[in-house]
Amino acid sequence: MLPATLTEALRHEEERFTAANPRSRAQFETACRWLPGGSTRTTVFYPPFPLMMARGEGAFVWDLDGHRYCNFLGEYTVGVCGHDPALLDRILAEISRRGLMLSGPTEFEARLAELICSRFPSCELIRFCNSGTEANLLALALARRATGREAVLVFQGSYHGGFLTYAVDDGPLNVPLRTVKARYNDVAGTQAIIGAAAGDLGAILVEPMLGAAGCIPGNAEFLQMLRDEATRRGIVLIFDEVMTSRLAPGGLQEQLAITPDLTTFGKYLGGGFSFGACGGRRQLLAMLDARNPGFAAHGGTFNNNVASMIGGYISLSECYTPQANRRLNALGDQLRSGLNELADRNEVPLRVSGRGAVMNVHFTREREIATPGDTGDANSLLLKKLLHLALLGDSVYIASRGLISLGLMHSDEDLESLIAAVRGFVLKHRVLLEQCV
Ligand SMILES: Cc1ncc(COP(=O)(O)O)c(C=O)c1O
């Protein structure tokens, strides 16, 4: 008998999950004694408890109970190169040869800077830091210093880090910024808001594709309007490409041919080690140049840590080359189309949004997803949780919020396993989907 309601279906999947994962559960309980919520990242929690991961290789991860999953989460888009022992050995050997804590600048930091600046059109100079959040804080600080204006335009649903969250409400831990909010992809509405606040706005902070809100691509007209308004009114335009910079060799700025004043980076660019960076126009970054009178000091013990600099340089130059980047994102476009065709053929209210190899499943009747409001209601969120737990039962690992991110390690067979698992889910829960969405 199929479960009649969504709550029952979820309960059923949670019971199956709990029974199958006694070691993860025990480890979660141990971890909760020392870590609030059993981890150090809210993102990785889902009820009843998250799988505790033991190791990874190739396209796969293994949990503590010994189950093997095809990893379509890729550490929330970091994992472009997969779990590649040969690449990791090469990086670790280089780190080991040079040593950590060298107490000064190193050649690898300049090499990584050159490589990133040569790929991303907006970057004449770049400054490294430790996370995407930090990169955004730095970009905002530079914009405020350059313009002398306090307010920042952000978009409803955007995520710029743990302290810069503008989901349905502002994140409770947000830094105290003066923000003005607009609707993503709303050209006329946003233009009016910019016009009204212009004298006060120092920065426009925007993801060229909303990531955490569900991989909602910004359309070219909207992003170009932001560029034009920023230029016209002397506002610093910041593209947060922490998630999107992997979607083309020069990021979405290159693909859309729209150049921001500053770009923030993170995730895969450190080769799997902690990473953040803010790059952009020479004149803005030069404010950090200690040779200039009146420069702005910006420290950070680990900004140039050897592991991230070497990891980033080797993985970007030897693994995630422009050619590999294009191939991976073309594969992602194919997968997304395949999943959407599957939904259309079976007439179920499911849509996969995104660009290239980063995408998100939604349970909605909308065919075009342009704003967070199009991604469905509370039932859509519950259905994503159900999908996540059900796919785990098929050895397929995606995020509980529906995020899917491909890496170079995925084979055609792996993609087939994902499509088959989604097909199985859709066929099993067709009636439920029809009732709930
Ligand atoms: C668009 C975007 N900006 C910023 C961040 C924050 O990066 P980090 O987690 O490295 O602080 C994220 C992280 O997911 C992100 O997706």
pLDDT in tens, 247-271: 999 999 999 999 999 999 999 999 9
Given this model, what pLDDT does residue 98 score? 94
Domain identity same for 340 and 200: no
Of 285, 319, 353, which residue is a domain's last?
Answer: 319
Average pLDDT score over residue span 34-56: 95
Q: Tell me how many degrees the CA angle 393-396-399 measures, rounded to the nearest 5.
A: 105
Q: How far away, in angstroms, is 396 Cα from ligand 1 center?
A: 24
Q: Atom 7 in ligand 1: which residue has the minimum CA distance? A: 132
Domain identity same for 153 and 226: yes
Please indicate, yes or no, whether the overall pTM of this predicted structure exceeds 0.95.
yes
Q: H-helix or E-strand containing 285? A: helix 282-285
Q: Where are the alpha helices (DSSP H) in 322-377?
A: 322-345
Q: How confident is the model at residue 347 (pLDDT cuts 50, 70, 90)?
A: very high
Q: Residue 4: is its pLDDT beyond 90?
A: no
Average pLDDT score over residue span 132-160: 98
Domain identity same for 140 and 259: yes
**b (16+ CB within 10 A) / e for 300-316:** eeebbbbbbbbbbbbbb
Q: From the CB of residue 4, how many other CB atoms can be counted at a distance below 10 Å?
A: 11
Q: How far away, in angstroms, is 420 Cα from ligand 1 center?
A: 31
Share of the chain above pLDDT 90, in %: 98
Point out the ligand 1 atom lying closest to the alpha carbon of residue 276.
Answer: 10
Domain identity same for 108 and 58: no
Average pLDDT score over residue span 422-431: 96
Point out the ligand 1 atom lying closest to the alpha carbon of residue 275.
Answer: 10
Domain identity same for 76 and 103: no
Alpha-carbon torsion 243, 249, 251, 255, what sign? negative
Task: Please give all residues whose beta carbon lies within 6 A of any atom in ligand 1, as ranges.
Answer: 76, 131-133, 136, 159-161, 207, 211-212, 240, 242-243, 266, 276
Start-to-end Cα distance in the chain: 21
Is the separation of the CB atoms in 82 and 408 below 8 Å?
yes
Q: How far away, in angstroms, is 242 Cα from ligand 1 center?
A: 6
Share of the chain above pLDDT 70, in %: 99
Q: Quick one: residue 157, left, alpha or beta (phi over 0 = left, psi -120 to 50 = alpha)?
A: left
Of 292, 319, 346, which residue is a domain's last?
Answer: 319
Is the separation of the CB atoms in 329 and 322 below 8 Å?
no
SS3 202: strand
Domain identity same for 34 and 141: no
pLDDT in tens, 50-90: 999 999 999 999 999 999 999 999 999 999 998 999 999 99
Domain identity same for 300 and 420: no
Q: How confident is the model at residue 3 (pLDDT cuts 50, 70, 90)?
A: low
Q: Residue 2: is its pLDDT beyond 70?
A: no
Chain mean pLDDT for the chain = 97
> What pairing do the DSSP bridges indicate for beta strands 201-206 and 236-240?
parallel
Residue 409 lies in a domain: yes
* DSSP string for 96-138: HHH-S--SS--HHHHHHHHHHHHH-TT-SEEEEES-HHHHHHH
243, 245, 274, 359: which to mutate for ligand 1, most atoms within 8 A of CB?
A: 243
Residue 237 lies in a domain: yes
Q: Atom 4 in ligand 1: which residue has the minimum CA distance? A: 160
Residue 404 lies in a domain: yes
Residue 67 lies in a domain: yes
Q: How far away, in angstroms, is 20 Cα from ligand 1 center?
A: 32
**Count of structural domains, the chain:** 2
Of 269, 292, 319, which residue is a domain's last?
Answer: 319
Domain membership of residue 377 as a residue range: 6-80+323-436
Domain identity same for 116 and 185: yes
**Encoded amino acid at 240, one letter:** D
Give the domain CATH number at 185: 3.40.640.10
pLDDT in tens, 268-316: 999 999 999 999 999 999 999 999 999 999 999 999 999 999 999 999 9
Residue 76 lies in a domain: yes
In three-state form (DSSP H/G/I as H, E/B as E, the rest C), the secondary structure along 209-272 is EECCCCCEECCHHHHHHHHHHHHHHCCEEEEECCCHHHHCCCHHHHHHCCCCCEEEEEHHHHCC
Domain identity same for 177 and 281: yes
Give the domain CATH number at 74: 3.90.1150.10
Given this model, what pLDDT does residue 168 score? 87
Q: Which residue has the tokens 């040969």?
A: 86
Domain identity same for 167 and 262: yes
Residue 1 lies in a domain: no
Is the separation of the CB atoms in 357 and 370 below 8 Å?
no
Domain identity same for 72 and 126: no
Residue 88 Cα to chain centre, angstroms: 22
Is the separation of the CB atoms in 218 and 207 below 8 Å?
yes
d(CA 178, CA 203): 11
Is the separation of the CB atoms in 272 and 92 below 8 Å?
no
pLDDT in tens, 124-140: 999 999 999 999 999 99
Q: How far away, in angstroms, is 12 Cα from ligand 1 center?
A: 33
Given this model, what pLDDT does residue 1 score? 56
- Please give the structure tokens belonging to residue 233: 């009114």
Given this model, what pLDDT does residue 201 score? 98
77, 133, 275: which to mutate for ligand 1, most atoms within 8 A of CB?
A: 133
Domain identity same for 198 and 288: yes
Q: How far away, in angstroms, is 30 Cα from ligand 1 center?
A: 28
Residue 60 lies in a domain: yes
Average pLDDT score over residue span 181-206: 97
